[in-house]
Chains A and B, each alone.
Chain A
Amino acid sequence: MASPENAELAASGPGRAGRSLWADALRRLRRDRIAVLCFAVILVYVVIAIVSPLLFPRWSDEHDYDNINLAPSGRHWLGTDALGRSVFQKTLLGANTSLTVAFMANVIAVPLGMVLGALAGYYAGWVDDLIVWLYTTLASIPGIILLVAIRFAFKEVVLFEDSFFKMDLDEGMAGVYLALGVMSWIGTCRLVRAEVMKIRELDYVLAARAIGTRGIVTLFRHVFPNVLHIGIIQFSLGFVGAIKAEVMLSFLGLGVGTGVPSWGRMINAARMELVVGRWWQLTSAVAAMFFLILALNIFGDRLRDAFDPRLRTA
């Protein structure tokens, strides 16, 4: 049979068998040099975030009152802060705080937004009304005010004290990422809801129902995988938002406690320092943030391009 179908089949070759849309997107991403470069930068930050607490476990207690506020030198690469601690180490440790908060905030926000969005989009009716009501209410409150309110509500709250899962909602990072997490699912929820509403009407969903799949299974097995890419993209973009939000909260004194090194706290400290010419804390924190956020932003964009079916080429 020399039908056009067979010709196409022959041309495609055995290598094409079984390549999913995901594999396709990943392949496109791997070919994108800028995306790979940005991913490498992000990886470097991740490694620093993981390794730095192991390298400098006692940093916050290493007060050295003979060497406070030193400018960068051979001995102190990025100078010292008001307590004589290394700003270089502080900057590296700040990556840990930023990435932990951003990661955890998105681990909370993205699945929450996706599940709520999927339920709202699929079931319509009162489920949709309820979820839409919930997020429009939340969205109508200025984010920063709500964040501040939540942070004040967390004052001196410590969960699971004396256990491995101890969560210091006041001084530790947990309070920051919880607050950010419960606030930043709205965008994901909206996107997923709209996409699910679109997919719900497609024939393959009806086909799934027509072979006897039950409703909730249809949603999570047949519809959900088709919106998963939104989760990934939102995760990467939400990361940037969370990093900035942590810095902002810490700058305002509503972020992590004094014992936790943070870029936001470094910038806060610079308020007093800059007038007397101590520029190194601010510069280090801003530079560290700049490259991370730049890399994350570009990577997020490229990720979206790779997953966008409209930009697909054969």
Chain B
Amino acid sequence: MNRDGAILTVRDLRTHFFTQEGVVKAVDGIGFAIAPKQTFALVGESGCGKSVTALSIMRLVPHPPGRIVAGEIVLSGKSLLDLTQRQMRDVRGGQVAMIFQEPMTSLNPVFTIGNQIVEAVRLHQKLSRRGARELAIETLADVGIPDPARRFREYPHQLSGGMRQRAMIAMALSCDPTLLIADEPTTALDVTIQAQILELLKRLQGRRGLSILLITHDLAVVAETADAVAVMYASKLVELADVRTLFGKPLHPYTHGLFRSLPRLGQERKRLETIPGSVPNPLAFPSGCKFHPRCPVGRDLPRCQGQEPQLREVAADHWAACWECPGYAEAKPTDPARPMPYRRADDDPAK
């Protein structure tokens, strides 16, 4: 166990893209921690830096133009940013695996499903071709693919979207990673399949003791699967809490806005509320609090316009970055890279 009992600790991560138009600070000083067997959701609009955070953890930020300019990423006591390329390759797929949004494009069309899983297995484990094949078929069965021995020989285009995502999960899990990064794993799937995939992830998590970093913009998915949530806006975290606290008592006006823009059962039918304005241009972020031009609270407040609030622990294990939220003034800027207490610890590992 490392110092704070976290599988993954990210501290003050800054990933910038050096483009011709200027420096895009895609991720600008974020920190969080994921406890063992926890599902940690990173929520935000498109372009807020969620995916870049994931790529930074994998050290797969496209370079050039992107580069991790500062920060610390510690995975099971190992500082990932200090590893050599070679060591990093062992981590990828070995300890951290990743699944993607688009199951249509995340499997290589020219190889069979089995071929791709076997390759992943043999990159990390000393297994014979036969042994790897058996493990692959076993994993395919494990992710709920019927007739895995046949699916093993099939090509991605012969599988449906849900099946492909399952195959992708099988590939990611074949080497028993401790952390799974799921970048919008259900966005491209229809709702029934979404539920199946989320159910599958939850089941696998219980059985394999997996930690999951779930990247999504879908609050319904968060409510259903996450233990802790970080809300990201314009390259920074604006709120961080366990899922109950965040859903029960959101503090940041942006989080409020996200909840208000959800349809509600039993509500009289009317136009859904939106957050006015749009995501700021990362080349020219607004001064002060980056959310202030869209904020119903701080739009006209001079402090919000002039000074950027940092993340502070406004209540126990509840961080927010907003001048106007209750308790912010007295709160201390404690390190948010501390694992959350999580509610689903022993929920259903038996299943």
Which A residues are closer than 8 A to B by beta carbons?
1, 4-6, 8-9, 12, 14, 16-22, 125, 202-204, 206-214, 221-222, 225-226
**Docked CA distance A115–B155 (Å):** 26
- Which residue in chain B gives the minimum CB-CB distance to A5? B160
Q: Is B154 a contact partner of A212 (Cβ separation < 8 A)?
A: no
Set of chain A residues within 8 Å of B208, measured between Cβ atoms: none
**Quick one: which of B47-96 are within 8 Å of A by CB?**
58, 60, 64, 85, 89-94
In the complex, whether B340 has a CB less than 8 A from a CB of chain A is no
Residues of A within 8 A of B171 (CB): 207, 211
Say whether A19 contacts B158, CB under 8 Å: yes
Q: Which residues of B contact A (CB under 8 A)?
A: 58, 60, 64, 85, 89-94, 97-98, 100-102, 105-112, 119-120, 123-124, 146-147, 150, 153-155, 157-158, 160, 162-163, 168, 171-172, 175
Would you call B89 and A212 a contact (CB within 8 A)?
yes
B200 CB, min distance to chain A CBs, angstroms: 14
Contacts of B110 in A (CB 8 A): 20-22, 225-226
How many A-B contacts if CB must be within 8 Å?
A: 96
Contacts of A213 in B (CB 8 A): 89, 119, 123
- For A210, the chain B residues whose CB sits under 8 A away are 58, 60, 92-93, 97-98
A17 touches B153 (CB 8 A): yes
Report yes or no: A207 in contact with B107, Cβ–Cβ below 8 A.
Answer: yes
Inter-chain CA distance A16–B153, complex, in Å, is: 10
Given known A-B contacts A203-B101, A211-B97, A16 and B158 have beta carbons under 8 A apart = yes
Please determine whether A5 and B105 come into contact, CB atoms closer than 8 angstroms.
Answer: no
CB proximity of B137 to chain A, nearest CB, Å: 14
Enumerate chain B residues within 8 angstroms of A5, measured Cβ to Cβ.
160, 162-163
CB-CB under 8 A from A204, the residues of chain B are: 105-109
Closest Cβ of chain A to B96, distance in Å, is: 8
Listed by A's residue number, 29 A-B pairs whose Cβ atoms lie within 8 Å are A6-B146, A12-B158, A14-B150, A16-B154, A17-B150, A17-B154, A17-B158, A18-B112, A18-B154, A19-B155, A20-B155, A125-B64, A203-B101, A203-B106, A204-B106, A204-B108, A206-B100, A207-B168, A209-B58, A211-B97, A211-B124, A211-B171, A212-B94, A212-B120, A213-B119, A213-B123, A214-B85, A214-B89, A225-B108
Specify which chain B residues have a CB less than 8 angstroms from the CB of A212 in the assembled complex. 89-94, 120, 123-124
Which of A1, A21, A206, A213 is the most central at the interface, judged by chain B CB atoms within 10 Å of its CB? A206
Chain A residues in 8 Å Cβ range of B112: 18, 20
Q: How far is the CA of A16 from the CA of B112 in the complex (A)?
A: 13
Q: Which 6 A-B pairs have the closest CB atoms?
A: A211-B93, A203-B106, A18-B153, A212-B93, A212-B92, A210-B98
Given A21-B155, A202-B105, 9 more pairs with CB closer than 8 A: A19-B158, A20-B155, A21-B110, A22-B110, A203-B106, A207-B168, A212-B93, A212-B124, A222-B108
Whether A208 pairs with B155 at a CB distance below 8 angstroms is: no
Among residues of A, the one whose C-beta sits closest to the C-beta of B161 is: A5
Kindly report which residue of chain B lies nearest to residue A200, judged by CB atoms.
B62
Query: How long is the Cα–Cα vector from A221 to B122 in the complex, in angstroms?
Result: 14
Residues of B within 8 A of A1 (CB): 146
A8 surroundings in chain B (CB, below 8 A): 160
CB pair A21–B157 under 8 Å, yes or no, is: yes
Neighbouring A residues of B146 by C-beta, 8 Å: 1, 6, 9
In chain B, what residue has the closest Cβ to A203?
Answer: B106
The distance in angstroms between the C-alpha atoms of A214 and B175, with both chains bound, is 17
